[in-house]
Amino acid sequence: MASTEGLVPITRAFLASYYDKYPFPPLSGDVSRLYSDMASLIQLLALQSPPSQASLIEEANREPPHKIDENMWKNREQMEEILFLLQPSPLSPLFQLREDDAELSSTLRHVKDNFDKALTAMISFQTKNSERIFSTVMTYMPQDFRGTLIRQQKERSERNRQAEVDALVSSGGTIRDTYALLWKQQMERRRQLAQLGSATGVYKTLVKYLVGVPQVLLDFIRQINDDDGPMEEQRERYGPHLYNLTKMVTAIRVSLTLLWERYDTFKLNKNQMNLLSEAVIVYTSEFERFITFISDVFANSPFFISADTAGTLGSRENEEYKEIIVQAGRTYEVSLMVESENSYIAWDFSLVQGKISMDIGFCVEYISASGEMTLILPYHRYEADQDQLCLFLQGNFSTLMAGNYKLVWDNSYSSFFRKTLRYKVDCIPPVVEPTN
């Protein structure tokens, strides 16, 4: 096993030296100019008649969130709101434009094309970044059933989150409602990382199964999002550029909303249409430049020590496996008390006995409170192939009920041969969502 001696969690000072190598070329001066012009347009539109939503003007004047990822979600939300306004439905002003509005119609279609492209780039960035982080973390996870279960639990958790979003949309939830939920889910992921790093909450039991994970990784994910932790350096370096883009896209969305509300009484003149068009072109091009840049920074960022640097961590097999003798004519049992449904029971076991009598029976039972037994995994007698010197099996299942589960190895059919059984068995609780 490679030593982790000398490794420390990534610090803010360490990231500062790293970010020195990646200065972001400043945003175009057109961003601040056009934002100011769009703010003036919003004031002009608001003067025509009070907006139907009082919070709309407040939103245009509100300061952006502090966190980088929250700003990313806010930009994505505004893009979707804009595209919703521009979709060609019978209720949309875009669909009702008259022939003498051909110039406005052309402008708005170019607006839609630009935001379609920007939204696609945004989704791709978020997806790839999420996959990269999880993949990096998994390089440190034990490459046995525990790593598999962590993947399965993550996938199940993400399916549940997506189902929650789908249910909200199906019930008539707005884009704003949807993104409020998405951000809430993002914060839940962050809390779960903190729980994993500090071995609290549902991870208090789970973390003891992560043998082989360097403590430096657990320390890092515990502190990564602290108020003055490593991410604060990222916010100071790159946040102001993103904040300006967030304000600009919000101004574009608010101005379009106000324009739709006053479509019958207020018409954009040529200069105002040119302003809208230029603002969209500058915003989308600068936003795509920003996420391309920050994607490269993230891809090379030393947030996690690479496996090549830290070395391949051993599995500490002597601490993980137990070895017992199953005498001829006997069975051996392991009981696990499962506290909640949707836990995972998993096992690895092997039989090493040379070429003679390489077989053993195995099954999994559920014992109810009344003592009634139900077979979960039917009994099967496993035998090694003729050319094998070892029988090795691995498996897992998700529990449907809490209670007592029993794993049984059977050598009762053998009259003479004892079996050397080497095994590890664990029950890993489900990664439930925090209730607070």
On whether both 119 and 257 belong to a single domain, the answer is yes
Predicted confidence (pLDDT) per residue in 94-139, tens digit = 555 554 577 777 888 899 999 999 999 999 998 888 887 777 666 6
Residue 311 is predicted with a pLDDT of: 33
Task: Note whether residue 436 is domain-resident.
Answer: no
pLDDT band at 349, cuts 50/70/90?
Answer: confident
Helices (H), 301-404: 307-310, 317-320
Q: Which domain holds residue 379?
A: 322-428
On whether both 265 and 379 belong to a single domain, the answer is no
Global pTM value: 0.64
Predicted confidence (pLDDT) per residue in 365-404, tens digit = 999 888 899 999 999 998 876 555 567 787 888 888 888 9
On whether both 86 and 120 belong to a single domain, the answer is yes
Average pLDDT over residues 72-97: 79
pLDDT band at 286, cuts 50/70/90?
Answer: very high
On whether both 296 and 376 belong to a single domain, the answer is no
On whether both 292 and 363 belong to a single domain, the answer is no
- Looking at per-residue confidence, does 261 or 38 come out higher? 38
Overall domain count for the chain:
2
- Which residues lie across from 403 on neighbouring strands? 338
Predicted confidence (pLDDT) per residue in 411-434, tens digit = 999 888 888 888 888 777 765 443
Q: Which of 254, 283, 309 is the last residue of a domain?
A: 309
- CATH number, residue 381: 2.60.120.680
Q: Which of 260, 282, 309 is the last residue of a domain?
A: 309
**Distance between CA atoms of residues 357 and 347, nearest Å:** 22
Above 90 in pLDDT, residue 205?
no
**Distance between CA atoms of residues 231 and 67, nearest Å:** 9
Q: What is the DSSP letter of 9?
A: -
On whether both 18 and 64 belong to a single domain, the answer is yes
Least confident of 111-125, 212-226, 272-286, 333-347: 212-226
Residue 301 is predicted with a pLDDT of: 74
On whether both 258 and 387 belong to a single domain, the answer is no
Least confident of 163-172, 202-211, 226-235, 364-373: 202-211
Above 90 in pLDDT, residue 211?
no
- Looking at per-residue confidence, does 69 or 408 come out higher? 408
Predicted confidence (pLDDT) per residue in 32-50, tens digit = 999 999 999 888 888 776 6
Residue 163 is predicted with a pLDDT of: 93
Residue 299 is predicted with a pLDDT of: 79
Residue 262 is predicted with a pLDDT of: 73
Q: Is 180 exposed, middle or buried (0-12, 13-18, 19+ CB in 10 A)?
A: middle
Predicted confidence (pLDDT) per residue in 300-347, tens digit = 776 544 333 333 323 333 446 788 889 999 999 999 888 877 787 888
On whether both 19 and 122 belong to a single domain, the answer is yes
On whether both 14 and 125 belong to a single domain, the answer is yes
pLDDT band at 193, cuts 50/70/90?
Answer: low
**Distance between CA atoms of residues 259 and 112, nearest Å:** 15
Name residue 70's amino acid: E
Residue 435 is predicted with a pLDDT of: 37
On whether both 353 and 223 belong to a single domain, the answer is no
Above 50 in pLDDT, residue 436?
no
Q: How many CB atoms lie within 10 A of CB 212?
A: 21
Above 90 in pLDDT, residue 293?
yes
On whether both 304 and 327 belong to a single domain, the answer is no
On whether both 116 and 237 belong to a single domain, the answer is yes
Residue 141 is predicted with a pLDDT of: 61
Cα dihedral 264, 269, 274, 275 sign: negative
Above 80 in pLDDT, residue 283?
yes
CA dihedral 328, 330, 331, 332 (to 10 degrees): -80
| CA dist list (Å): 121 to 2, 30, 114, 249, 295 | 39, 22, 11, 15, 11
Helices (H), 62-174: 68-86, 93-96, 102-138, 145-170
Average pLDDT of the chain to the nearest whole number = 78
Average pLDDT over residues 47-64: 76
Q: Which of 278, 309, 340 is the last residue of a domain?
A: 309
